[in-house]
Amino acid sequence: MAEIFEYAPAPESRSVVTLRDTYDLFIDGAFTPAEDGTQLTTVNPADETELARVAVAGPVDIDRAVAAARRAHENVWGPMSGLERGKYLFRIARIIQERSRELAVLESMDNGKPIKETRDVDLPLVAAHFFYHAGWADKLAHAGLGPDPRPLGVAAQVIPWNFPLLMLAWKIAPALATGNTVVLKPAETTPLTALVFAEICQEADLPAGVVNILPGAGETGRKLVEHPGTDKVAFTGSTEVGRQIARAVAGTPKRLTLELGGKGANIVYDDAAIDQAVEGIVSGIFFNQGHVCCAGSRLLVQESIAEELLARLKTRVTQLRVGDPLDKNTDLGAINSAAQLERIRELTDSGESEGAERWSPACDLPENGYWFAPTVLTGISQAHRVAREEIFGPVLSVLTFRTPEEAVTKANNTPYGLSAGVWTEKGSRMLWTAERLRAGVVWSNTFNKFDPTSPFGGYKESGYGREGGRHGLEAYLG
């Protein structure tokens, strides 16, 4: 057993963030309260303290935002040259970099994820998405989509709470680069960084109406995607809501992309570098508390090495630090909401009652806030709910296999198809496996690596359309 030693607290300063009591909607370049005055409260899930009150967009506000986006598209943003649009995107990217410490702290406070991740993963990727798409803005004629691809018009975009600012970047950067204007709804529990992003749009002198941000709950999202005045709907979230949106958009001329759930398999063959694989398994399921659509939530390990691998995995998980998200040494932060915590509890308990063996390291969870210890479930069969349903939390379901054929069959035995990982020293085995996996992304001897140049998206119930890379541009061009 590795020695566990204490780290001194290393808290990041909250003083880099100036919280306002109230945040308004961002419509047509200006912050305005909701027409009917409705507000929601966003809390810090690590201690349940109230962070701010935030305006909730209703039908009148949505009408105004869509009309502003339409005017901006027709009069300013659509006709503007790609070269000029690119300059705005470069400017936004640079301001994000300048304000990245503030944004990282705010994201951590509103979402509960560790500062180590917002600082080293979310924010660098957010800036990278804007830089990457800024570079495309004046080169769209060379994207292989015809000599003069045209923007679609106004995009309605709805995003989840697990990577609030990063999902915003995945949505807004390609839309703007291609000449579309946007109305975006952030998730109810994590609206704050999107509203600071609205400030950044002002700071960058982005023309009014090009970006509109409408906080609210599911009802605001539903009204926005059903609004007849938009040309495109882009959604990231659950498969259930994705289905509703597909029904709402069917029969309209609107274009639709859906990025939905997943139940990614992380396949470890007997010849894999075992310590490296353990690190990949840990990052695959415990990164961002497992609130990751492409998480490696099903470990498929070859039977002959299962015992040794699980022993090493448990030793490693015992060393994870769970607690204050603003502490720079924290590995696992808070679960984003009481509702999500309840879903994780219910599903994990069902695993136990269906006969799985449940293991967590001894760890002291903070008294206030929403917390769930890292958990490993073994003794699982394909029929168990925890092998099939997305838990979206720090819970790993372990299955074993004997042959490569069995590994592939089990990995593909899911309604989803978003991600997979393959761990082996043999290139031929790697390629043989990757070719047979029905997953949008397959990582080889690594996991959870993201890059704006690389398309991301799913098969089957994980959705359709791609975000990132040249493929992602196609989703915003006619």
Q: Which residues are marked as active site?
A: 259, 293
Of the two residues 63 and 102, which places its CB atom closer to Mg ion in the complex? 102
Of the two residues 204 and 347, which places its CB atom closer to ligand NAP in the complex? 347
- Only segment of 21-29, 42-50, 170-178, 363-371 that touches Mg ion (CB under 5 A): 42-50
CB of 307 to ligand NAP, least distance (A): 31
Of the two residues 182 and 313, which places its CB atom closer to ligand NAP in the complex? 182
Binding-site partner at residue 259 among ligand NAP, Mg ion, none, CB < 5 to 8 Å by type: ligand NAP
Distance CA 55, CA 40 (A): 6
* 42 near Mg ion, judged by CB under 5 A: yes
Sign, CA torsion 287/357/462/469: positive
Sign, CA torsion 334/337/340/344: positive
Of the two residues 93 and 158, which places its CB atom closer to ligand NAP in the complex? 158
CB of 44 to Mg ion, least distance (A): 6
CB of 245 to ligand NAP, least distance (A): 6
CB of 102 to Mg ion, least distance (A): 16
- Only segment of 39-47, 62-70, 118-126, 260-268 that touches Mg ion (CB under 5 A): 39-47
Binding-site partner at residue 150 among Mg ion, ligand NAP, none, CB < 5 to 8 Å by type: none
Quick check: 176 and 306 in contact, CB under 8 A?
no
- Only segment of 105-113, 290-298, 391-399, 461-469 that touches Mg ion (CB under 5 A): 105-113
- Only segment of 107-115, 130-138, 227-235, 418-426 that touches Mg ion (CB under 5 A): 107-115
Binding-site partner at residue 42 among Mg ion, ligand NAP, none, CB < 5 to 8 Å by type: Mg ion
Distance CA 154, CA 38 (A): 25
- Looking at the DSSP bridge assignments, the partners of residue 340 are none
Of the two residues 218 and 361, which places its CB atom closer to Mg ion in the complex? 218
Distance CA 141, CA 148 (A): 5
When binding is defined by CB under 5 A, the residue of 24, 107, 110, 188 that contacts Mg ion is 110
CB of 438 to ligand NAP, least distance (A): 15
Structure tokens at 76: 């300013």
Binding-site partner at residue 87 among ligand NAP, Mg ion, none, CB < 5 to 8 Å by type: none
Binding-site partner at residue 188 among ligand NAP, Mg ion, none, CB < 5 to 8 Å by type: ligand NAP
Binding-site partner at residue 100 among ligand NAP, Mg ion, none, CB < 5 to 8 Å by type: none
Residues that bind ligand NAP (CB under 6 A): 158-162, 185, 187-188, 217-218, 221-222, 225, 236-238, 241, 244-245, 259-262, 293, 390, 392, 418, 463
CB of 240 to ligand NAP, least distance (A): 7
Quick check: 370 and 333 in contact, CB under 8 A?
no
Of the two residues 12 and 110, which places its CB atom closer to ligand NAP in the complex? 110
CB of 465 to ligand NAP, least distance (A): 10
Of the two residues 210 and 293, which places its CB atom closer to ligand NAP in the complex? 293
Among positions 174-213, residues that touch Mg ion (CB under 5 A) are 189
Residues that bind Mg ion (CB under 5 A): 42, 110, 189
